[in-house]
Structure 1
Amino acid sequence: MRYSFRHRTYMWLVDLDALPRLPRALRPLARFVARDHFGGGSPTLRAGLDAYLASQGVEPSEGRVLMLAHARVLGYVFNPITLFWCFDRSGALRCVVAEVHNTYGQQHCYLLRTGPDGRAETAKALYVSPFFPVDGRYLMRLPVPGDRLDITVRLEREGGHPFTATLHGARREATPRALLRAAVRRPWSTAAVWAGIRRHGIRLYLLGVPVQPRPAHNPKEGIDP
C-alpha cells in the first residue's frame, strides 16, 4: 500500500538568544515557552539545550543557535520535530539536535553530526507512528535554512524505506502583518498538525494497516520529564 498526503502550515526560524518580541495583542499567536522542550525542566530554551548537550558529553554551544519550530498558538503547541542548529563562535556548524514528539506525550532528542551536505544518520529510538515498531535508522538531510527550507527524514528498515517525510518552505520576515495573514490562513496551526496526524492514522487503520504495540520509552537525562 502506498499512502501520501500534504499539509500546509507555517513554522518559525528563530535565534535562541533573540526570540521575537511581538506586540502584546499578537502574543497569543506566537509564544516560545521553555517547558515545551527538553522535558520542560529548564528556565530557558538555551538552558534546556545546554543541559541536553551536557547529558551527551558535548560542551554547550558557544555560538548562535537557530531553532525551527512551531510556536505556541492560543495556548497550544505540538511539534512533531524541532530542529536546533548549533554553531561555534566562528560561525561553523557544530551539531544539529532533532527533538521529536509523538502524539502520546513522549519525546526524544537525537544528537546529529551532519556532513557538508547536511546529511546525518541515527538509530530510531522513539515510537512515533503506530504502524512501525522502534527499529531501523533515520537518514536525515538537514541543511541550514537559507531563503528556502528543504528538510528530509527517511526511515530505513530491513527490506526498504517505508516512510519518508519532507518539509519545504520559503522564508518570510515575521512582521505583524505577515503573522496575522498566516494565522488567518492557517488558524490554530499547531492543533491542526496534531489533528491531521490523528486523522490520517485513523484512516490507515480503517484501511487495514496493522498496529504495532507501543513499548515503554526509556527517558534520557534532560529530555523527558
Structure 2
Amino acid sequence: MPGPWGAVLYETRTIHVRTTPRTRSFRHRGYLWLVDLDRLPTLPRPLRPLARFLPRDHAQDAGGEPLTCRQDIERYLTGHGVRLGRGRVLMLTQARSLGHVFNPLTVYWCRDEAGLPLCTVAEVHNTYGGRHRYLLPPDPEGRGESVKDFYVSPFFPVDGRYRMVLPEPGSRLHLTVHLERRGGRAFTATVRGTARPAGPAALLRAALTHPFPTWAVSLHIRYQGIRLWLSGLPVHPRPPAGRPRPTDEPVPTEEVPTR
C-alpha cells in the first residue's frame, strides 16, 4: 500500500532483551520507511529536512566511485553469486532526518525479474561508523541464520550465530533477530510496526509523534550502553581490522519463534 511517494511508513516499536550475563531490556518507538530502490522518494522541498535518501547513507564505500543505492546492492549480490538483473529491491530503513541518520538494522528484500524471492540482506550498523551485511537465502517465512562476524555491542564479543526471522512486510512489520552463543540465547531484538502510505500527512504525523527520530535512536543506544557499563558489565574491545573470527562451540539449533 505505497503512498503518493511510492513508499510505506511503519510506526514501530523496537524491543531489545539481553539475557546474559544479566537480564536487561529496553523499548523504543519510532518509524521506518519501506522504499523501492528504483523509486526512492524525493520529497517536496519544505519536507526534505524530515526525510532524505542519500547514497552515502546507504551505500558501501566503493573506493571513491559514486554508486546509487541500487548499484551498490547489485554489486554486493554479484560478489556473492546472486544475479539481480532487472529484479526489484525493497529497503526498510530510516531516512536522513534533521541532518542525521543512523540505522542499527537495514533490511533489503530482493526479487528477480519474475517477482520470485532471490534473497534477503540484513545490514547491521554499529555506533563506530561500521556496517556489515549478512546474506540470507529465500525462505517462505523469512527465516535465516548466519555466523556473527561483526562487532556491534561492546558488551558482546564477536562470536555466536544470528537467527533471524525477516519476512517481507505488508500491512504489518514483524522482524525478530536472536543472538545464540555457547550456553544459549544471549540477546533478542524485535521490531513491530503498522503500515501507512507514505505521504505528507503520514510523515508529519510520524515526525510530530516521534521528533528527532534518528537522533533519538543514536542517543538511546548510547544511554543504554552507559547504563550497562555503570552496572559493571564487562566491555569487550573491538577486534583489530582483519583479525580472524574465533571458532565457536556449537550453539543451540532449536527453531526460532516467530512471535
Scaled by the length of structure 1, what TM-score is found?
0.93
CA contact (8 A) 1:61 1:86 kept: no
Offset of residue 95 of structure 1: 0.2
**1:38 corresponding residue in structure 2:** 59
The structure whose RCO (Cα within 8 Å, separation 6+) is larger is 2
CA contact (8 A) 2:102 2:218 kept: yes
Q: Which runs of 5+ in 1 are unaligned?
A: 220-225
Offset of residue 174 of structure 1: 1.2
CA contact (8 A) 2:84 2:112 kept: no
Q: Are positions 1:196 and 2:217 aligned together? A: no
* Alignment match of 1:23 (pick from 38, 41, 44): 44
**1:147 corresponding residue in structure 2:** 171
Q: Which runs of 5+ in 2 are unaligned?
A: 1-21, 244-259
* Alignment match of 2:159 (pick from 110, 135, 148): 135
Provide the C-alpha distance between the structure 2 equivalents of 1:172 and 1:217, rounded to a whole number of angstroms. Answer: 41
Offset of residue 208 of structure 1: 1.1
Provide the C-alpha distance between the structure 1 equivalents of 2:121 and 2:85, rounded to a whole number of angstroms. Answer: 11
Provide the C-alpha distance between the structure 2 equivalents of 1:113 and 1:217, rounded to a whole number of angstroms. Answer: 27
* Alignment match of 2:181 (pick from 148, 151, 157): 157
**2:229 corresponding residue in structure 1:** 205
SS in 2 for 1:71: coil
Superposed, which structure 2 residues align to 1:18-97 within 5 Å? 18-41=39-62, 42-97=66-121
Offset of residue 37 of structure 1: 2.2
**2:18 corresponding residue in structure 1:** none
Offset of residue 10 of structure 1: 0.3
Provide the C-alpha distance between the structure 2 equivalents of 1:5 and 1:191, rounded to a whole number of angstroms. Answer: 17
Q: Are positions 1:181 and 2:205 aligned together? A: yes
More strand by share: 2
CA contact (8 A) 2:59 2:68 kept: no
SS in 2 for 1:120: strand
Offset of residue 186 of structure 1: 1.2
Amino acid at match of 2:156: F
Offset of residue 61 of structure 1: 4.6
**1:4 corresponding residue in structure 2:** 25
Provide the C-alpha distance between the structure 1 equivalents of 2:154 and 2:87, rounded to a whole number of angstroms. Answer: 38
CA contact (8 A) 2:178 2:187 kept: yes
* Alignment match of 2:195 (pick from 171, 177, 192): 171
RMSD: 1.4
Identify which range, 160-169 or 41-50, moves more after superposition: 41-50
Provide the C-alpha distance between the structure 2 equivalents of 1:74 and 1:104, rounded to a whole number of angstroms. Answer: 20
Provide the C-alpha distance between the structure 2 equivalents of 1:216 and 1:15, rounded to a whole number of angstroms. Answer: 36
Q: Are positions 1:108 and 2:125 aligned together? A: no
Provide the C-alpha distance between the structure 1 equivalents of 2:31 and 2:85, rounded to a whole number of angstroms. Answer: 27
SS in 2 for 1:164: strand
Provide the C-alpha distance between the structure 2 equivalents of 1:159 and 1:81, rounded to a whole number of angstroms. Answer: 25
Identity percentage over the alignment? 58
Please list the CA deviations of residues 60-118 of structure 1 after superposition, one character each: whole Å capped at 9, or x if unmatched. 35311110000000121001010000001111110011111100111111111132211
SS in 1 for 2:24: coil
Identify which range, 80-89 or 38-47, moves more after superposition: 38-47
